Structure 1
Amino acid sequence: MKKLSALICLLIFTQNIVAQKPAGKDFWWKRNNLRVIQMNLPSYEAATINADSIVTDLVHFSANTLLINAGGIMAFYPSKLDFHYINPYMRPGVLADIVKKCHEKDIKVIVRFDFSRVHENIYKAHPDWCYISPKGERIINTDMYVVSINAPYVQEKAFKIIEEVIDLFPIDGIFLNMPGYQVNNPYEGKYHGIDQNDYDKKRFAEFSGGQTLPTEENKADPLFQKYLEFKKSTVEDWSERLHKLVKSKNEQIAICTYSDKFVDIIRHESQSMTTLPYWPYTASDNVGNAVNSFPDHIVSNASIQQISFQSRYNAVEPQEVQIRLYENIANGSGLDMSMMGDMRGYEDERNYEVFRKVYAFHKKHEPYFGKYKSVAKIAIVAPGAWPNGEPMQEYRGVQLMLREAHIPFDIIEDGQIANLADKVKAYKLLILPEITYLKPESIEILKEASKLGTNLIATNRTLFDNPETLYQLFGAKIEKKDNDGAGNYLVPDNRQIFKSFPGQSMLFWKFNLGLYDLSGTDAKYLPILAKGRPGPPEIIGGHDPTGYYAMGIKNHAKSRGIIFPVNLGRIYYMHGYQEHKNLLLDAINYILPEASQTVQTNAPARVETILKEFTRNTVINKEKTSSDGMILHLVNLTGFSGNTYFEPLPLYKLTFRVRSEKQPKKVFGLTNGQPVKFTYKGGFIDLEIPKLEGFEGIVMDWN
């Protein structure tokens, strides 16, 4: 009898353990098959939105996730909290009806919160909750005031608002818009400075051991560096507290925002550009960065429909949206689109057919998306998640060179190198485009990778703040890191390396041309010629050797380090001369000739090729890690002219040779389901694509 009782207790205990699951892999978002439509509602649309029409539209467009307003700046439901401003157009019961009817169609609902601002009524009652600049200014948008992250509204009241929503509605996720510290008014393009709210001053003093909150952003100032640590620490503390609150309510509620700590879904955005040159690879850039830098997270990259904050009711071109969406799924994200309002009576509906087509395509072929493994042997280090300025131009230019050459590569965010040590060391080449600062632990990873056989290429001012590492890895010493190169020339001297310059003995330069002592290298190339004599034809010339070089190679036991102390990426990104691209491609072919062999094709440079190993993304395969085959995504960018987007040109008789460790059992195209003729020999798959329109996914199935 005692044995029976013990057995019953054991069974009950075991059942309780099973019931206490799910494990993380059972969470709904882990499937990575999101098809999100975000309806960013202006206040007045709360008076007209209708649950039935919203759900009808979501079903029509094959969406499986709705992202819609709930609270923060204003409540889109009848909040009972006196510090939560209620949208005057709000109709009680509408949000509940939307959630209910979405669930009836198996559509998940993520609700949006924005705690960056409060209504002036709340500001007047609690001015101490709001931002104040070093000049004593507030950041105001009409009747909304920017808040201080360390004041009670964000630190206490925001949690009450989120808790109220979770208690009222059976939501599937929360999205946090504009989290963190605010120093700009992005809607007006104005910088205001470091928040001087008393709560910020007090908390910074506690964090720093009594130091005074800085008033200027100066990276050379140790006080500002301490402030950056303070911001990171306080944001992560808030995020951790939020995570604990949400998961204590319901583990199946996903947390989504733009950061990576204590979130389930990292959101990114493909936005329109206001300056030339336009960047047609924004989705590949965003998703590639996030999925490789944060491999344990799901990434959702939103195609933002608006032209700008000042032009929200005009959408970007349909052809650009199509490129973004196809790049999303080709790189491992789901689909995500953000628009102003709901889909009825929208001011610019030109993109609707693109949404319908691509979302339906993803739904139909779900098993071939979302569970990818990279085949890349090269990684480009990105200067952060949201690059800007000259480092962004350098970074994008290097990307552009490899994309146009159809060379597969991954992207690793500079701040994540130390967290991805094994992954980083596995690459055969790391490219650092003007990566001016790396954490000490990241530097050690680079050194270890170099010893193990990873080649390194650095451009422009990379590691200028770490002379010891710069010399150790690249044999370079800086004499003058900032030097205007306009008028100088480079000589492609060694034709065993520089094979792409028939008929050319001098390459013009522009932008930065660093003057480095490369005596610590094992070889110096690309002699720099002096600016010479500017003027009429009769007097020009005088481009004599300066004694400096624009490329150095340092040999290590198992690898090489190549340095280009020049704006190699920026000059190509801004001007697009093939000679500058060929300098990098020739260097890559010299140290890693296999890089150009992974994908060989006659396709033009404007066809983006994205090659991945895939595992069928089905419920039964949720724990499977071995690959089922390869998929070659082809995104046709021939309609991109540099400053606008047209329909892509149809392309015919494209040939591809793809390196593959296995012979496929079958090869077919996803867009038409038709088989593709192929041969397999010597570790390569040869195939021909009769016609490419906007997109194709070529599945090479091993099973």
Structure 2
Amino acid sequence: MTKTLLALLALIGSTLHTLAQDQGGFWWKRNNLRVIQTNLPDYEAATLNADSLLADLREYSANTLIINAGGIMAFYPTKLDFHYQNPYAKPNTLKDVITKCHEHNIRVIVRVDFSRVHERIYKAHPDWCYLSPKGERMINTDMYVVSINAPYVQDRAFRIIGEIMDTFPVDGIFLNMPGYQVRNPYEDKYQGIDQNEYDQKAFAAYSGGLKLPLEENSADPVYRKYLDFKKHSVEQWSKKLHEMVKAKNPQTAICTYMDRYVDIIRHESQSNTTLPYWPYTASDNVGNASNSYPDHIISNGSIQQLSFQSRYNAVEPVEAQIRLYENIANGSGLDLSMMGDMRGYEDERNFPVFKKVYGHHQKFEQYYGKYKSVARILVVSPGSWAHGEPAQEYRGIQLMLREAHIPFDIMENTQLGNQAGRLKDYQTIILPEIVALDSTSLTAIKAALDNGTHLIATNRSLADHPEMLAAVFGAKIEKKDYDGAGNYLVPDNRGVFKRFEKQKMISWKYNLGMYDLKGADQTFLPILGKGRPGPPEIIGGHEPTGYYAMGLKNHPKSKAIILPMNLGRLYYMHGYQQDKNILLDVIDYIIPEASRQLRTNAPARVEVILKEFARNIPENQQKQTMEGLILHLINLTGFSGNTYFEPLPVRDLTFEIQSDFKPSKVFAMKSKRTVPFKWEKNILKLSLSELEDYEGIVIMR
């Protein structure tokens, strides 16, 4: 039998297998991605070898490859004169990579980036490119940032994608760095709102003749209109892309960082650039996106580089390991991004981690990717890319719940209105520094409250909606911003604050809002004044101010609690247990069953994630009935706060889980052992003799 015939038979077999997989839906809907992204520098195209790349993908159990194709430069022989040709690219490499991957059932998503053009293109079409308010271009060496309303993005980008899809049987299009740019991220240089002539015309047409704002000022109504314009124009472009791609091939997935007209939402776990480090970045990203956009598949990439300036140095192996385990524990697949391919890589320390976690997922694939939440608490996030003080407040609240092993979900503040029906399923919603919400989200929050869902709001939450503060919390702002350093809170009501048996005063730092809480039904935590700072001989004088740091208003079916202070931020930055205890006592007071949902002796640095699951197998794709519970344990004991060491073994763990069924069997995937259990009165008790880096305990009905 000739080699040609053998190759043909292999290709036919691969195609039949792929078609069988795709029966009943789109291939990405299976939610079993194991992605490796090769972010190729131009020069690596000269040495990239399809056979070695395929061998590495198979060795590391990958089933999806993301690889450069076009945009900034073509990694194939383009026929388009406005598409800069990578001078190092060999004519058949991309074709060979796609062919060989498909022969072994590995999907190929091609990466395109329309954020920049080569200097040659810029010189021919300077009107296509970004222009700052100072008349400056945004440049990286010989690449110029473009304007998304100019002809390159609005027309030429579609021609490039069309050429790629007409030339190669790609499984997906990954759009890198879409949207507007005001900052050169590779040099961390802010340059301002794009003043390109096409942007001017497009904004004027959208706004009825307004001129582009020169500054980002949320108090400026023109700037607020500009924000609407940006959202509208990006969505219109995305819609056009979706229509074009799906017309060519409905089985081609669109993947990027947005949600509209997208099949796979990509997120990223990036290296921390500021202290304190956040070891829960993957749980945060996947939990947020999957609950905010439940109709999408989420793929959270573990970005290996330390920074844009340190691309050839990878994050610590334990950090990468935590990210990958958190991905699959929260319902995503696996995803990692590296500079170049795996041959001759500059920092291979993470490779054993990749091999271990990807191999585990492949072996136990049926127990991942088809989950349902058991959480009774919802934490609202300030966005998909939280930053600044709102992110600190939000992360601090998360940290309290994670360390207490209380299950919770996350949802973006912009999606509350879109998910209004689901809000009523939660017993409590927590708003951490969610200052403003749109009208539909406010309506959804109020409807959930009326239906019996409790509400907890911290710091400046809903400060832009004084009427909502008054109606829901009985609160009126007198001083929204006040430096609380030197003030104290008194945990006066021991029926609520049961964790403060040996403590009479709680010191404060950061913001401590002074609110009129006369409209609340109960007030707690009297605020004491700053007193007399100085040497021990003169301190004291912390007298009551007449203000309280907590107010509770009763509603017919629920309670609304306001804590106008930086509770989450203080815990995130400093980790004082007293601050965590305030929230835990409040939760115990209004929903004591939350802490009984899952009880364990696991240390706070063991992340415990409980989900309902159904087996992720082809015949279950339309199945809605869950087949059991799965308990994920991720060992973060090696995280010291600014360094990732190997986790310490944790022994003799016990768990009590509320379960309405007696399991038929319970087993641990990684250790391959049966887990002993007892079930009585809807309480499942089980134990684990030892936890190393990770374990997934499957509890079958």
Query: Aligning the two structures, in what range does the TM-score lie when normalised by the shorter sequence?
Result: over 0.9
Paired residues, number:
683
Question: Where in structure 1 do 4 or more consecutive aligned residues deviate above 6 Å?
Answer: 20-24
Q: Deviations over 1:599-621 (max 9, x none)?
A: 10001000000000001000011
**Partner residue of 2:424?**
425
**Partner residue of 1:192?**
191
For the residues of structure 1 that align with 2:561 and 2:20, how far apart are their CA atoms?
51
* Pair 1:451–1:23, CA change in 2 (3 A): farther
For the residues of structure 1 that align with 2:486 and 2:660, how far apart are their CA atoms?
48
Q: Measure how far apart 1:685 and its partner are.
A: 0.5
For the residues of structure 2 that align with 1:332 and 1:595, how far apart are their CA atoms?
22
**Partner residue of 2:100?**
101
Q: Measure how far apart 1:21 and its partner are.
A: 13
Identity of aligned residues (%): 69
* Pair 1:23–1:44, CA change in 2 (3 A): closer
**Partner residue of 1:500?**
499
Aligned-partner residue type, residue 446 of structure 2: K
For the residues of structure 1 that align with 2:550 and 2:444, how far apart are their CA atoms?
24
**Partner residue of 1:467?**
466
**Partner residue of 2:511?**
512
**Partner residue of 2:16?**
none
1:539 correspondence with 2:515: no
For the residues of structure 2 that align with 1:471 and 1:21, how far apart are their CA atoms?
58
1:139 correspondence with 2:131: no
Q: Measure how far apart 1:22 and its partner are.
A: 12
**Partner residue of 1:3?**
none
Check whether the contact 2:264–2:297 (CA below 8 A) recurs between aligned residues: yes
Q: 1:500-649 residue pairs with structure 2 within 5 A?
A: 500-649=499-648
**Partner residue of 1:213?**
212
Q: 1:239-250 residue pairs with structure 2 within 5 A?
A: 239-250=238-249
Q: 1:105-120 residue pairs with structure 2 within 5 A?
A: 105-120=104-119
**Partner residue of 1:416?**
415
Check whether the contact 2:21–2:618 (CA below 8 A) recurs between aligned residues: no
Aligned-partner residue type, residue 156 of structure 2: K
Aligned-partner residue type, residue 151 of structure 1: A
Q: Measure how far apart 1:502 and its partner are.
A: 2.1
* Pair 1:283–1:524, CA change in 2 (3 A): same
Q: Deviations over 1:358-397 (max 9, x none)?
A: 0000000011000000000100000011011000000000
For the residues of structure 2 that align with 1:487 and 1:699, how far apart are their CA atoms?
50
SS in 2 for 1:26: coil
For the residues of structure 2 that align with 1:219 and 1:466, how far apart are their CA atoms?
16
- In structure 1, stretches of 5+ residues that fail to align are 1-19
* Pair 1:264–1:362, CA change in 2 (3 A): same
Aligned-partner residue type, residue 320 of structure 1: E
Aligned-partner residue type, residue 655 of structure 2: F
For the residues of structure 2 that align with 1:434 and 1:544, how far apart are their CA atoms?
28
SS in 2 for 1:426: coil
Aligned-partner residue type, residue 694 of structure 1: D
For the residues of structure 2 that align with 1:464 and 1:553, how far apart are their CA atoms?
17
**Partner residue of 1:405?**
404
Q: Measure how far apart 1:425 and its partner are.
A: 1.5
For the residues of structure 2 that align with 1:191 and 1:603, how far apart are their CA atoms?
45
User: What is the TM-score when the length of structure 1 is the normalising length?
Assistant: 0.96
Q: Measure how far apart 1:273 and its partner are.
A: 0.4
For the residues of structure 2 that align with 1:312 and 1:203, how far apart are their CA atoms?
36
For the residues of structure 2 that align with 1:448 and 1:417, how far apart are their CA atoms?
11
Aligned-partner residue type, residue 638 of structure 1: T
SS in 2 for 1:418: coil
For the residues of structure 2 that align with 1:448 and 1:340, how far apart are their CA atoms?
48
Q: Deviations over 1:392-413 (max 9, x none)?
A: 0000000000000000000010
For the residues of structure 2 that align with 1:659 and 1:38, how far apart are their CA atoms?
40
Aligned-partner residue type, residue 307 of structure 2: S
Aligned-partner residue type, residue 480 of structure 2: K
SS in 2 for 1:211: coil
For the residues of structure 1 that align with 2:229 and 2:553, how far apart are their CA atoms?
39
Check whether the contact 2:659–2:682 (CA below 8 A) recurs between aligned residues: yes
For the residues of structure 2 that align with 1:91 and 1:688, how far apart are their CA atoms?
56
1:54 correspondence with 2:66: no
Q: Measure how far apart 1:25 and its partner are.
A: 5.4
Q: Deviations over 1:440-499 (max 9, x none)?
A: 111011111111100000000000010000111111100000000000000000000000
SS in 2 for 1:562: strand
**Partner residue of 2:123?**
124
SS in 1 for 2:179: coil
Q: Deviations over 1:594-642 (max 9, x none)?
A: 1101110001000000000001000011111100000000000000000
Q: Measure how far apart 1:23 and its partner are.
A: 9.7
SS in 1 for 2:674: coil
**Partner residue of 1:4?**
none
**Partner residue of 1:339?**
338
Q: Measure how far apart 1:672 and its partner are.
A: 2.1
For the residues of structure 1 that align with 2:671 and 2:279, how far apart are their CA atoms?
25
Q: Measure how far apart 1:426 and its partner are.
A: 1.3
Q: Deviations over 1:570-593 (max 9, x none)?
A: 000000000000000000000000
* Pair 1:238–1:380, CA change in 2 (3 A): same
For the residues of structure 1 that align with 2:232 and 2:108, how far apart are their CA atoms?
30
SS in 2 for 1:419: coil
**Partner residue of 1:363?**
362
For the residues of structure 2 that align with 1:428 and 1:254, how far apart are their CA atoms?
36
**Partner residue of 1:168?**
167
1:294 correspondence with 2:293: yes
1:271 correspondence with 2:281: no
Check whether the contact 2:149–2:202 (CA below 8 A) recurs between aligned residues: yes
Q: 1:677-696 residue pairs with structure 2 within 5 A?
A: 677-696=676-695
* Pair 1:52–1:142, CA change in 2 (3 A): same
**Partner residue of 2:490?**
491
Aligned-partner residue type, residue 499 of structure 1: K
* Pair 1:296–1:523, CA change in 2 (3 A): same
**Partner residue of 1:12?**
none
For the residues of structure 1 that align with 2:511 and 2:637, how far apart are their CA atoms?
31
SS in 2 for 1:662: coil
1:390 correspondence with 2:389: yes
Q: Measure how far apart 1:24 and its partner are.
A: 9.9
RMSD of aligned alpha carbons: 1.1
For the residues of structure 1 that align with 2:478 and 2:680, how far apart are their CA atoms?
52
* Pair 1:454–1:64, CA change in 2 (3 A): same
SS in 1 for 2:405: coil
Q: Measure how far apart 1:274 and its partner are.
A: 1.3
Q: 1:34-113 residue pairs with structure 2 within 5 A?
A: 34-113=33-112
Aligned-partner residue type, residue 357 of structure 1: K
For the residues of structure 2 that align with 1:22 and 1:639, how far apart are their CA atoms?
40
Aligned-partner residue type, residue 654 of structure 1: L
For the residues of structure 1 that align with 2:523 and 2:23, how far apart are their CA atoms?
52
1:445 correspondence with 2:457: no
1:229 correspondence with 2:225: no
For the residues of structure 2 that align with 1:422 and 1:623, how far apart are their CA atoms?
22
Aligned-partner residue type, residue 635 of structure 2: N
For the residues of structure 2 that align with 1:387 and 1:528, how far apart are their CA atoms?
30
Q: Measure how far apart 1:179 and its partner are.
A: 0.1
Aligned-partner residue type, residue 160 of structure 1: R
For the residues of structure 1 that align with 2:271 and 2:548, how far apart are their CA atoms?
39
SS in 1 for 2:90: coil
Check whether the contact 2:21–2:27 (CA below 8 A) recurs between aligned residues: no
For the residues of structure 1 that align with 2:21 and 2:99, how far apart are their CA atoms?
23
For the residues of structure 2 that align with 1:474 and 1:591, how far apart are their CA atoms?
15
For the residues of structure 2 that align with 1:643 and 1:575, how far apart are their CA atoms?
13
User: What is the TM-score when the length of structure 2 is the normalising length?
Assistant: 0.97
1:480 correspondence with 2:472: no
For the residues of structure 2 that align with 1:251 and 1:277, how far apart are their CA atoms?
44
For the residues of structure 2 that align with 1:290 and 1:464, how far apart are their CA atoms?
25
For the residues of structure 1 that align with 2:662 and 2:24, how far apart are their CA atoms?
31
Q: Deviations over 1:56-99 (max 9, x none)?
A: 00000000000000000000000000000001101101000000
SS in 1 for 2:673: coil
Aligned-partner residue type, residue 598 of structure 1: Q
Q: Deviations over 1:292-324 (max 9, x none)?
A: 000000000000000000000000000000000
**Partner residue of 1:16?**
none
**Partner residue of 1:673?**
672
SS in 2 for 1:444: helix
**Partner residue of 1:6?**
none
Q: Deviations over 1:275-295 (max 9, x none)?
A: 110000000000000000000
